[in-house]
Amino acid sequence: MQQKRYRSKGSQLIEQFGKAHKDQSFSAGEIVDYVKSEGLNVNTATIYRSLDRMSEDGLLLKFKPQDSDSVVYQYKGLHQHCDHHMHMRCRQCGKLIHLECEFAAAFIKNIEEEYGFTIEPTITSLGGLCSNCKAAKS
Ligand SMILES: [Zn+2]
Ligand SMILES: [Zn+2]
């Protein structure tokens, strides 16, 4: 896949933030805070537009957690086809794990066959605790 070059400072900062938090989903608000903390004076609407464009370009993953009304983003990096597989999301740290294994694909297919229900990966994430957070708990 061809990597797009982002020229605006805001987009560059978003990319930088995303790369530094690869395993973490973040809200638009967090990005706005980050960009401001870097001393860049951009308005919130511009940041939202950049986030949307970068999601469309496939650089960021945009999704809506079940337990929240606002969308969150995560840097996608090398993960492709995020529209086609589900994700697990840690309720503690927000980490998003790509379910790219065959088992997950078979699960979606079986549900379809068994219940006639189409799981839409873009709006579906499984909630739970990641291994790190579980280890920290015990
Ligand atoms: Zn994915
Ligand atoms: Zn976690």
Domains of the chain, start order: 9-137 (1.10.10.10)
What distance in angstroms lies between residue 132's CA and the mean position of ligand 2's atoms? 6
**What one-character-per-residue DSSP string does 29-81 give?**
HHHHHHHHHTT----HHHHHHHHHHHHHTTSEEEE--TT-SS-EEEE-TT---
Show contacts of 116-120: CB within 8 Å, 24+ apart: 119/86
What distance in angstroms lies between residue 127's CA and the mean position of ligand 1's atoms? 15
Mean pLDDT, rounded, for 9-28: 89
What distance in angstroms lies between residue 126's CA and the mean position of ligand 2's atoms? 13
Sign of CA dihedral 50, 53, 58, 64: positive
Q: What is the pLDDT of residue 43?
A: 86
Q: What is the pLDDT of residue 89?
A: 86
Q: What is the pLDDT of residue 4?
A: 61
Averaged pLDDT of the chain: 86
Q: Is the pLDDT of residue 3 over 60?
A: no
Beta partners for 128? 90
Secondary structure of 119-136 as H, E, C letters: CCHHHCEEEECCHHHHHH
* Nearest ligand by distance to the CA of 58: 1
Q: What is the pLDDT of residues 67-115, one digit of tens each?
A: 677 888 989 877 777 888 888 988 888 888 889 889 999 999 999 999 9
Q: What is the pLDDT of residue 53?
A: 92
Per cent of the chain over pLDDT 90 is 38
Beta partners for 62? 73
8 Å CB contact between 17 and 26? yes
8 Å CB contact between 81 and 119? no
Q: What is the pLDDT of residue 1?
A: 44
Q: What is the pLDDT of residue 8?
A: 83
